[in-house]
Homo-oligomer: A and B are copies of this chain.
Amino acid sequence: MKNGRVRNIRVETISQIPIEQQRIEIVERKGIGHPDSMADGIAEAMSRALCKEYKRRFGFVLHHNTDETQIVAGKSKPKFGGGEVISPIYILLVGRATKEFDGESIPTDTVVLRAAREYIHENFPNLKDEYVVLDCRIGEGSTELKDVFTRKDKVPCANDTSFGVGYAPFSETERLVYHTERYIVGELRKSEPAIGEDVKVMGVRKDNEIELTIACAMVDAYVDDPHHYAQIKEEIRERVFEIAQEYTQRSVKVFVNTADSDGCYYLTVTGTSAEMGDDGSVGRGNRCNGLITPYRPMSMEATSGKNPINHVGKIYNILSNQIASDIASEVDGVEEVYIRLLSQIGKPIDEPLVADAQILPEKGADIDKVQREARDIIERWLPNITEIVDMLIAGKLRTF
Protein backbone atom coordinates (compact mmCIF):
# COMPACT_ATOMS: atom_id res chain seq x y z
CA MET A 1 0.00 0.00 0.00
CA LYS A 2 1.22 3.41 -0.95
CA ASN A 3 -0.56 6.75 -0.70
CA GLY A 4 -3.40 4.96 1.00
CA ARG A 5 -4.07 3.01 -2.14
CA VAL A 6 -4.32 -0.76 -2.16
CA ARG A 7 -2.42 -1.94 -5.18
CA ASN A 8 -2.51 -5.70 -4.44
CA ILE A 9 0.76 -6.25 -6.21
CA ARG A 10 2.22 -9.74 -6.21
CA VAL A 11 5.56 -10.44 -7.76
CA GLU A 12 6.76 -13.99 -8.00
CA THR A 13 9.42 -15.82 -9.92
CA ILE A 14 8.50 -18.80 -11.99
CA SER A 15 10.45 -21.68 -13.35
CA GLN A 16 9.67 -22.74 -16.87
CA ILE A 17 11.39 -23.34 -20.15
CA PRO A 18 12.06 -19.94 -21.74
CA ILE A 19 10.18 -19.40 -24.96
CA GLU A 20 13.38 -19.35 -27.03
CA GLN A 21 14.30 -22.77 -25.72
CA GLN A 22 10.95 -24.35 -26.30
CA ARG A 23 11.03 -26.56 -29.34
CA ILE A 24 7.98 -25.13 -31.01
CA GLU A 25 6.65 -21.62 -31.29
CA ILE A 26 3.79 -20.25 -33.32
CA VAL A 27 3.22 -16.57 -33.94
CA GLU A 28 0.78 -14.82 -36.21
CA ARG A 29 0.07 -11.26 -37.27
CA LYS A 30 -2.92 -10.14 -39.24
CA GLY A 31 -1.98 -7.02 -41.19
CA ILE A 32 -4.02 -3.85 -41.13
CA GLY A 33 -6.00 -4.92 -44.18
CA HIS A 34 -7.13 -8.25 -42.77
CA PRO A 35 -10.89 -7.98 -42.19
CA ASP A 36 -10.48 -8.52 -38.44
CA SER A 37 -7.83 -5.81 -38.28
CA MET A 38 -9.97 -3.50 -40.40
CA ALA A 39 -12.69 -3.94 -37.82
CA ASP A 40 -10.20 -3.21 -35.05
CA GLY A 41 -8.84 -0.15 -36.79
CA ILE A 42 -12.25 1.31 -37.50
CA ALA A 43 -13.44 0.59 -33.96
CA GLU A 44 -10.45 2.36 -32.46
CA ALA A 45 -10.77 5.29 -34.88
CA MET A 46 -14.39 5.64 -33.76
CA SER A 47 -13.39 5.72 -30.10
CA ARG A 48 -10.61 8.23 -30.70
CA ALA A 49 -12.99 10.49 -32.60
CA LEU A 50 -15.58 10.30 -29.84
CA CYS A 51 -12.95 11.06 -27.20
CA LYS A 52 -11.88 14.14 -29.11
CA GLU A 53 -15.46 15.27 -29.66
CA TYR A 54 -16.35 14.85 -26.01
CA LYS A 55 -13.22 16.67 -24.90
CA ARG A 56 -13.82 19.50 -27.33
CA ARG A 57 -17.32 20.00 -26.00
CA PHE A 58 -17.03 19.25 -22.31
CA GLY A 59 -13.36 19.00 -21.46
CA PHE A 60 -13.55 15.29 -20.65
CA VAL A 61 -14.33 12.00 -22.29
CA LEU A 62 -17.79 10.53 -21.84
CA HIS A 63 -18.91 6.95 -21.69
CA HIS A 64 -18.76 4.96 -24.89
CA ASN A 65 -17.65 1.58 -26.25
CA THR A 66 -17.42 1.08 -29.97
CA ASP A 67 -15.75 -2.29 -29.97
CA GLU A 68 -18.23 -4.26 -32.05
CA THR A 69 -17.79 -3.19 -35.67
CA GLN A 70 -18.85 -6.00 -37.98
CA ILE A 71 -17.49 -6.34 -41.50
CA VAL A 72 -19.53 -8.35 -43.98
CA ALA A 73 -17.53 -9.33 -47.03
CA GLY A 74 -18.47 -8.10 -50.47
CA LYS A 75 -18.15 -9.81 -53.79
CA SER A 76 -15.56 -9.09 -56.44
CA LYS A 77 -14.19 -10.25 -59.74
CA PRO A 78 -10.49 -9.46 -59.71
CA LYS A 79 -8.46 -9.97 -62.83
CA PHE A 80 -4.98 -9.13 -64.05
CA GLY A 81 -4.88 -5.52 -65.10
CA GLY A 82 -7.89 -4.55 -63.00
CA GLY A 83 -11.18 -6.21 -62.13
CA GLU A 84 -14.33 -5.08 -60.40
CA VAL A 85 -16.07 -5.03 -57.06
CA ILE A 86 -19.52 -6.47 -57.69
CA SER A 87 -21.11 -5.99 -54.29
CA PRO A 88 -19.84 -3.65 -51.63
CA ILE A 89 -18.35 -4.56 -48.30
CA TYR A 90 -20.95 -3.87 -45.63
CA ILE A 91 -19.55 -2.37 -42.46
CA LEU A 92 -21.85 -2.06 -39.47
CA LEU A 93 -20.57 0.32 -36.83
CA VAL A 94 -21.84 -0.99 -33.52
CA GLY A 95 -21.46 0.23 -30.00
CA ARG A 96 -22.67 2.52 -27.28
CA ALA A 97 -22.08 6.19 -26.75
CA THR A 98 -23.34 9.04 -24.64
CA LYS A 99 -25.73 10.91 -26.89
CA GLU A 100 -26.82 13.62 -24.53
CA PHE A 101 -25.02 15.39 -21.76
CA ASP A 102 -26.05 18.40 -19.76
CA GLY A 103 -28.95 18.94 -22.10
CA GLU A 104 -26.74 18.97 -25.18
CA SER A 105 -27.15 16.46 -28.00
CA ILE A 106 -23.92 14.95 -29.26
CA PRO A 107 -23.82 13.86 -32.90
CA THR A 108 -22.21 10.53 -32.10
CA ASP A 109 -23.50 8.81 -35.21
CA THR A 110 -22.13 11.34 -37.64
CA VAL A 111 -18.88 11.55 -35.67
CA VAL A 112 -18.24 7.82 -35.92
CA LEU A 113 -19.34 7.66 -39.57
CA ARG A 114 -16.87 10.38 -40.46
CA ALA A 115 -14.13 8.75 -38.41
CA ALA A 116 -14.70 5.39 -40.05
CA ARG A 117 -14.72 6.88 -43.54
CA GLU A 118 -11.55 8.85 -42.89
CA TYR A 119 -9.83 5.79 -41.49
CA ILE A 120 -10.71 3.89 -44.65
CA HIS A 121 -9.57 6.72 -46.90
CA GLU A 122 -6.26 7.01 -45.12
CA ASN A 123 -5.45 3.33 -44.98
CA PHE A 124 -7.08 1.80 -48.03
CA PRO A 125 -6.31 3.79 -51.14
CA ASN A 126 -7.97 1.24 -53.43
CA LEU A 127 -11.25 1.10 -51.54
CA LYS A 128 -13.49 3.49 -53.43
CA ASP A 129 -16.52 4.95 -51.68
CA GLU A 130 -18.94 2.80 -53.65
CA TYR A 131 -17.10 -0.35 -52.56
CA VAL A 132 -18.21 0.14 -48.99
CA VAL A 133 -21.56 0.54 -47.31
CA LEU A 134 -21.01 2.19 -43.94
CA ASP A 135 -23.98 1.64 -41.66
CA CYS A 136 -24.33 2.53 -38.03
CA ARG A 137 -26.22 1.22 -35.01
CA ILE A 138 -24.91 3.07 -32.03
CA GLY A 139 -27.06 2.82 -28.92
CA GLU A 140 -26.80 4.30 -25.51
CA GLY A 141 -25.11 2.52 -22.64
CA SER A 142 -26.99 1.06 -19.76
CA THR A 143 -25.65 3.03 -16.87
CA GLU A 144 -25.56 6.49 -15.50
CA LEU A 145 -21.83 6.83 -15.15
CA LYS A 146 -21.56 10.55 -15.23
CA ASP A 147 -19.49 10.72 -12.12
CA VAL A 148 -16.98 8.19 -13.33
CA PHE A 149 -16.16 10.19 -16.40
CA THR A 150 -16.37 13.78 -15.32
CA ARG A 151 -14.60 14.00 -12.00
CA LYS A 152 -11.09 15.16 -12.76
CA ASP A 153 -9.89 14.76 -9.19
CA LYS A 154 -10.85 11.11 -9.01
CA VAL A 155 -9.41 8.03 -10.64
CA PRO A 156 -12.19 6.37 -12.64
CA CYS A 157 -13.69 3.15 -11.34
CA ALA A 158 -13.52 -0.12 -13.23
CA ASN A 159 -16.54 -0.77 -15.45
CA ASP A 160 -16.35 -4.50 -14.95
CA THR A 161 -14.51 -7.41 -13.45
CA SER A 162 -12.00 -8.05 -16.16
CA PHE A 163 -8.34 -8.71 -16.71
CA GLY A 164 -5.44 -7.70 -18.85
CA VAL A 165 -2.38 -9.70 -19.76
CA GLY A 166 0.99 -8.61 -21.08
CA TYR A 167 4.47 -9.94 -21.43
CA ALA A 168 7.94 -8.93 -22.53
CA PRO A 169 10.25 -9.13 -24.26
CA PHE A 170 9.18 -10.32 -27.68
CA SER A 171 10.87 -13.52 -28.78
CA GLU A 172 12.88 -13.51 -31.94
CA THR A 173 10.07 -15.12 -33.86
CA GLU A 174 7.60 -12.59 -32.54
CA ARG A 175 9.79 -9.68 -33.55
CA LEU A 176 10.31 -11.24 -36.93
CA VAL A 177 6.62 -11.82 -37.60
CA TYR A 178 5.64 -8.37 -36.44
CA HIS A 179 8.26 -6.55 -38.47
CA THR A 180 7.72 -8.65 -41.56
CA GLU A 181 4.17 -7.39 -41.89
CA ARG A 182 5.17 -3.83 -41.02
CA TYR A 183 7.95 -3.98 -43.57
CA ILE A 184 5.78 -5.29 -46.38
CA VAL A 185 2.89 -2.92 -45.90
CA GLY A 186 4.81 0.01 -44.47
CA GLU A 187 7.91 0.00 -46.68
CA LEU A 188 7.80 -2.37 -49.59
CA ARG A 189 4.38 -1.21 -50.72
CA LYS A 190 5.74 2.27 -51.35
CA SER A 191 7.64 0.99 -54.33
CA GLU A 192 5.36 -1.90 -55.22
CA PRO A 193 1.73 -0.74 -55.44
CA ALA A 194 0.55 -4.27 -56.20
CA ILE A 195 0.93 -5.10 -52.52
CA GLY A 196 -2.41 -4.86 -50.73
CA GLU A 197 -3.04 -3.99 -47.09
CA ASP A 198 -4.22 -7.50 -46.28
CA VAL A 199 -0.97 -9.25 -45.41
CA LYS A 200 -1.08 -12.10 -42.93
CA VAL A 201 2.18 -13.48 -41.54
CA MET A 202 2.41 -16.80 -39.78
CA GLY A 203 5.69 -17.74 -38.17
CA VAL A 204 6.42 -21.27 -37.02
CA ARG A 205 9.66 -22.01 -35.25
CA LYS A 206 10.73 -25.62 -34.83
CA ASP A 207 13.89 -25.55 -32.76
CA ASN A 208 16.15 -23.31 -34.77
CA GLU A 209 14.25 -23.19 -38.02
CA ILE A 210 11.69 -20.52 -38.67
CA GLU A 211 9.16 -20.74 -41.43
CA LEU A 212 7.44 -17.50 -42.37
CA THR A 213 4.28 -18.03 -44.34
CA ILE A 214 2.99 -14.84 -45.88
CA ALA A 215 -0.44 -14.41 -47.41
CA CYS A 216 -0.32 -11.16 -49.34
CA ALA A 217 -3.35 -9.83 -51.19
CA MET A 218 -2.28 -8.35 -54.53
CA VAL A 219 -4.05 -5.39 -56.11
CA ASP A 220 -5.01 -6.57 -59.58
CA ALA A 221 -4.74 -3.22 -61.33
CA TYR A 222 -0.99 -3.30 -60.71
CA VAL A 223 -0.39 -6.86 -61.79
CA ASP A 224 -0.22 -7.44 -65.52
CA ASP A 225 -0.31 -11.19 -65.75
CA PRO A 226 0.68 -14.43 -64.01
CA HIS A 227 4.32 -13.86 -64.83
CA HIS A 228 4.28 -10.42 -63.25
CA TYR A 229 2.47 -11.85 -60.25
CA ALA A 230 5.17 -14.47 -59.82
CA GLN A 231 7.81 -11.75 -59.99
CA ILE A 232 6.19 -9.74 -57.24
CA LYS A 233 5.84 -12.80 -55.05
CA GLU A 234 9.48 -13.57 -55.56
CA GLU A 235 10.46 -10.02 -54.77
CA ILE A 236 8.51 -10.10 -51.52
CA ARG A 237 10.12 -13.42 -50.64
CA GLU A 238 13.60 -12.14 -51.25
CA ARG A 239 13.19 -8.85 -49.49
CA VAL A 240 11.60 -10.45 -46.43
CA PHE A 241 14.40 -13.01 -46.38
CA GLU A 242 16.91 -10.17 -46.33
CA ILE A 243 15.37 -8.20 -43.51
CA ALA A 244 14.83 -11.41 -41.55
CA GLN A 245 18.58 -11.52 -41.06
CA GLU A 246 18.33 -8.40 -38.93
CA TYR A 247 16.07 -10.19 -36.48
CA THR A 248 17.48 -13.67 -36.17
CA GLN A 249 20.46 -15.87 -36.68
CA ARG A 250 18.23 -18.88 -37.06
CA SER A 251 17.54 -20.46 -40.39
CA VAL A 252 14.55 -18.73 -42.03
CA LYS A 253 12.39 -19.95 -44.84
CA VAL A 254 9.92 -17.59 -46.45
CA PHE A 255 6.80 -18.71 -48.31
CA VAL A 256 4.49 -16.33 -50.09
CA ASN A 257 0.89 -17.10 -51.08
CA THR A 258 1.29 -20.83 -50.75
CA ALA A 259 -2.38 -21.42 -51.42
CA ASP A 260 -1.90 -20.33 -55.02
CA SER A 261 -2.30 -23.09 -57.47
CA ASP A 262 -2.59 -23.45 -61.17
CA GLY A 263 -4.81 -20.62 -62.38
CA CYS A 264 -5.56 -19.53 -58.85
CA TYR A 265 -3.95 -16.39 -57.45
CA TYR A 266 -4.41 -14.22 -54.38
CA LEU A 267 -5.66 -11.34 -56.48
CA THR A 268 -7.96 -8.60 -55.21
CA VAL A 269 -9.37 -5.37 -56.59
CA THR A 270 -8.98 -3.45 -53.36
CA GLY A 271 -6.09 -4.99 -51.45
CA THR A 272 -8.26 -6.68 -48.84
CA SER A 273 -9.99 -10.04 -48.80
CA ALA A 274 -13.01 -8.33 -47.25
CA GLU A 275 -14.01 -7.60 -50.83
CA MET A 276 -14.75 -11.28 -51.33
CA GLY A 277 -15.73 -13.81 -48.79
CA ASP A 278 -13.83 -12.85 -45.65
CA ASP A 279 -15.87 -11.25 -42.90
CA GLY A 280 -14.25 -9.54 -39.95
CA SER A 281 -14.94 -8.59 -36.34
CA VAL A 282 -13.31 -6.56 -33.62
CA GLY A 283 -11.18 -8.49 -31.19
CA ARG A 284 -10.85 -11.61 -33.26
CA GLY A 285 -7.36 -10.87 -34.52
CA ASN A 286 -4.17 -9.49 -33.03
CA ARG A 287 -3.90 -8.84 -29.33
CA CYS A 288 -2.95 -5.31 -28.36
CA ASN A 289 0.74 -6.13 -28.75
CA GLY A 290 0.10 -6.68 -32.45
CA LEU A 291 0.39 -10.47 -32.38
CA ILE A 292 -1.42 -13.72 -31.83
CA THR A 293 0.73 -15.97 -29.68
CA PRO A 294 -0.79 -19.27 -28.62
CA TYR A 295 2.34 -20.19 -26.66
CA ARG A 296 1.95 -17.09 -24.54
CA PRO A 297 -0.80 -16.00 -22.21
CA MET A 298 -3.40 -13.93 -23.99
CA SER A 299 -6.51 -12.01 -23.07
CA MET A 300 -9.79 -12.53 -24.90
CA GLU A 301 -10.73 -8.90 -24.47
CA ALA A 302 -11.03 -6.80 -27.59
CA THR A 303 -8.87 -3.77 -26.94
CA SER A 304 -9.85 -1.67 -29.94
CA GLY A 305 -12.88 0.57 -29.66
CA LYS A 306 -13.33 0.43 -25.93
CA ASN A 307 -13.34 3.65 -24.01
CA PRO A 308 -9.93 4.43 -22.54
CA ILE A 309 -11.31 5.89 -19.32
CA ASN A 310 -12.75 3.04 -17.34
CA HIS A 311 -12.89 -0.02 -19.57
CA VAL A 312 -10.37 -2.24 -17.89
CA GLY A 313 -10.60 -4.72 -20.74
CA LYS A 314 -8.75 -2.11 -22.74
CA ILE A 315 -6.67 -0.25 -20.19
CA TYR A 316 -5.36 -3.27 -18.32
CA ASN A 317 -4.28 -5.06 -21.46
CA ILE A 318 -2.35 -2.08 -22.66
CA LEU A 319 -0.97 -1.30 -19.23
CA SER A 320 0.13 -4.91 -18.70
CA ASN A 321 2.19 -4.71 -21.83
CA GLN A 322 3.63 -1.34 -20.90
CA ILE A 323 4.63 -2.59 -17.45
CA ALA A 324 6.07 -5.82 -18.82
CA SER A 325 7.99 -3.89 -21.39
CA ASP A 326 9.46 -1.53 -18.80
CA ILE A 327 10.41 -4.36 -16.49
CA ALA A 328 12.06 -6.30 -19.30
CA SER A 329 14.07 -3.32 -20.42
CA GLU A 330 14.87 -1.65 -17.10
CA VAL A 331 15.41 -4.54 -14.71
CA ASP A 332 18.55 -6.63 -15.01
CA GLY A 333 18.20 -10.36 -14.97
CA VAL A 334 14.71 -10.73 -16.43
CA GLU A 335 14.44 -13.44 -19.05
CA GLU A 336 10.68 -13.14 -19.37
CA VAL A 337 8.00 -11.30 -17.49
CA TYR A 338 4.26 -11.86 -17.49
CA ILE A 339 1.88 -9.28 -16.09
CA ARG A 340 -1.75 -9.89 -15.27
CA LEU A 341 -4.04 -7.22 -13.92
CA LEU A 342 -7.46 -8.05 -12.58
CA SER A 343 -9.97 -5.31 -11.87
CA GLN A 344 -12.67 -5.12 -9.28
CA ILE A 345 -15.83 -3.71 -10.68
CA GLY A 346 -16.64 -0.37 -9.09
CA LYS A 347 -13.19 0.17 -7.59
CA PRO A 348 -10.73 2.78 -8.84
CA ILE A 349 -8.77 1.41 -11.77
CA ASP A 350 -5.49 2.17 -10.02
CA GLU A 351 -6.48 -0.30 -7.31
CA PRO A 352 -6.64 -3.65 -9.09
CA LEU A 353 -7.87 -6.72 -7.29
CA VAL A 354 -4.66 -8.39 -8.39
CA ALA A 355 -1.56 -7.00 -10.02
CA ASP A 356 0.39 -10.14 -10.67
CA ALA A 357 3.90 -10.30 -12.07
CA GLN A 358 5.49 -13.62 -12.92
CA ILE A 359 9.14 -13.32 -13.68
CA LEU A 360 11.31 -15.92 -15.25
CA PRO A 361 14.73 -14.76 -14.07
CA GLU A 362 17.91 -15.19 -16.00
CA LYS A 363 20.33 -17.63 -14.54
CA GLY A 364 22.21 -16.04 -11.69
CA ALA A 365 19.95 -13.07 -11.38
CA ASP A 366 19.49 -11.40 -8.01
CA ILE A 367 15.96 -12.56 -7.40
CA ASP A 368 15.24 -10.14 -4.59
CA LYS A 369 16.47 -7.19 -6.55
CA VAL A 370 14.56 -8.25 -9.61
CA GLN A 371 11.36 -8.61 -7.63
CA ARG A 372 11.85 -5.32 -5.85
CA GLU A 373 12.53 -3.38 -9.01
CA ALA A 374 9.66 -4.99 -10.83
CA ARG A 375 7.36 -4.04 -7.98
CA ASP A 376 8.65 -0.49 -8.17
CA ILE A 377 7.79 -0.27 -11.82
CA ILE A 378 4.27 -1.49 -11.17
CA GLU A 379 3.91 1.00 -8.33
CA ARG A 380 5.16 3.71 -10.61
CA TRP A 381 2.64 2.88 -13.32
CA LEU A 382 -0.53 2.40 -11.32
CA PRO A 383 -0.88 5.97 -10.05
CA ASN A 384 -0.10 7.20 -13.55
CA ILE A 385 -2.53 4.89 -15.22
CA THR A 386 -4.42 7.77 -16.77
CA GLU A 387 -1.41 8.57 -18.93
CA ILE A 388 -2.54 5.63 -21.00
CA VAL A 389 -5.69 7.56 -21.81
CA ASP A 390 -3.93 10.50 -23.38
CA MET A 391 -1.63 8.27 -25.38
CA LEU A 392 -4.59 6.30 -26.67
CA ILE A 393 -6.58 9.36 -27.67
CA ALA A 394 -3.57 10.73 -29.47
CA GLY A 395 -3.28 7.45 -31.34
CA LYS A 396 0.19 6.82 -29.94
CA LEU A 397 -0.50 3.27 -28.77
CA ARG A 398 -1.36 0.44 -31.08
CA THR A 399 -4.34 -1.61 -30.07
CA PHE A 400 -4.04 -4.41 -32.60
Contacts and interface: CB of A to CB of B under 8 A. Distances in A.
Q: Across the A-B interface, give the 6 residue pairs with the lowest CB-CB distance, nearest first.
A: A142-B277, A16-B16, A70-B70, A114-B130, A113-B130, A68-B279
Interface of A: 10, 12, 14-17, 22-24, 26, 68, 70, 72-75, 77, 84-88, 90, 92, 94-96, 99, 105-111, 113-114, 117, 128-131, 133-137, 139-143, 161, 163, 165, 202, 204, 206, 213, 215, 258-259, 261, 273, 276-285, 287, 292, 294-300, 302, 340, 342, 345-346, 353-354, 356
Among A106, A163, A302, chain B packs the most CB atoms within 10 A around the CB of: A163
Nearest to A13: B17
B105 A139 contact: no
A139 to B, nearest CB: 6
A277 B107 contact: no
Given A95-B279, A96-B279, A72 B297 contact: no
A70 to B, nearest CB: 4
Contact of A292 (B110, B273, B281, B300): B300
A213 B94 CA distance: 28
B10 A202 contact: no
Contacts of A295: 297, 340
A284 B298 contact: no
A141 to B, nearest CB: 5
